[in-house]
Amino acid sequence: MGGANDLLNRINERYGSFSKGQKKLAAYITDNYDKAVFLTAAKMGATVGVSESTVVRFAAHLGYRGYPQFQRALEEMVQSKLLAVQRMEDVYGRIPQSEILKTVLESDARRIQETLEKIDEQAFQVAVDAIVSARNVYVVGIRSCAPLAEFFAFYLNMVCDNVRLLQTNSSSELFEQMVRINSEDAIVGISFPRYSVRTLKAMEFANNRNARVITLTDSVHSPMNLYSSCNLIANSDMSAIVESLAAPLSVLNALLMAICTKKKGEVAENLEMLEQVWEDYQVYGNDEIDYIGESVRLRYGRVE
């Protein structure tokens, strides 16, 4: 067997050749492997909505000799999750408490520098042009990548009026939100290990509809690149419980700055409009801090 992430790696490598039923199984296992490990082939099929034989064929398609070996691979995934705290202690346990702040920030700085050295600047420019010229820009990031997607969509919305943040707990909801996507649109998919099959399916759907597909991920070998015409690679750290996503965030910041530079006039116009809205409706009136003398008091404004 190929280690704790063997099953995930096999799913990622073969995803493009899966049938519809196998893709449903891949999505369920990726998101619920801690539950799937206790299921028989028949029970897993019933849970996902496919036949028992489809589950058995799925295990064989992944290269396992039978369902029992496939289940052992699931057990290794669960064990890997349970050992996450131990891995964090192995990496950071020898560092004195007083040095953790310095160590973590220096580590993040290194990842940003490594990303700068490796990232494809031409791909970056292609991504900027695709976003600027798109009719609609869809942004998707699941689980730990959701804050990155929300950050990017929030600030992109201040520049563009056509931003759609995909938020979902299921693949079917994803497709409902992007059912009108076509060749005039662009999608930005953000995914780092463990990769989200839901995000991957959104990228596949967008690619099939001829949309411009942009990925932000950790490696040229990432399955996210299967359906992407523009790959942005940023270093991340998966050795600890808390993933380091400082480098991906920096890449998103750079994208936003480049897009703002391309759309200077619209940015200025939108910001002026926002300032007027904030003033007219006292948007920040409820949590402003006023400095009076040497004391500070909170001013809770009211909209009369």
Q: Residue 294: pLDDT band by 50, 70, 90 thresholds?
A: very low
CB 169 within 8 A of CB 197: no
What's this model's pTM, rounded to 2 decimal places?
Answer: 0.65
Q: According to the per-residue pLDDT averaged within each range, which of 25-34, 127-136, 231-240, 283-292 is highest?
A: 127-136
The reply to whether omega before 135 is within 30° of 0 (cis) is: no
Tens digits of residue pLDDT in 123-171: 999 999 999 999 999 999 988 889 999 999 998 988 888 899 998 766 6
Q: Residue 87: pLDDT band by 50, 70, 90 thresholds?
A: low
> What residues have CB less than 8 Å from 12, skipping those under 6 apart?
195, 222, 223
- The dihedrals phi and psi of 295, each to the nearest 5 degrees, come to -105, 165
The pLDDT of residue 296: 43
Supply the DSSP symbol for 50.
Answer: S
Supply the DSSP symbol for 51.
Answer: -
CA dihedral sign of residues 127, 163, 181, 215: positive
Spell out the domains of the chain, with CATH numbers in brackets.
6-82 (1.10.10.10), 119-262 (3.40.50.10490), 266-299 (no CATH)
Rounded CA gap, 198 and 238, in Å? 20
The secondary element (H helix, E strand) that includes residue 107 is helix 100-118
Residues 243-251, mean pLDDT to the nearest whole number: 86
Nearest by Cα to 224 from 246, 200, 248:
200
CB 29 within 8 A of CB 74: yes
Rounded CA gap, 287 and 172, in Å? 39
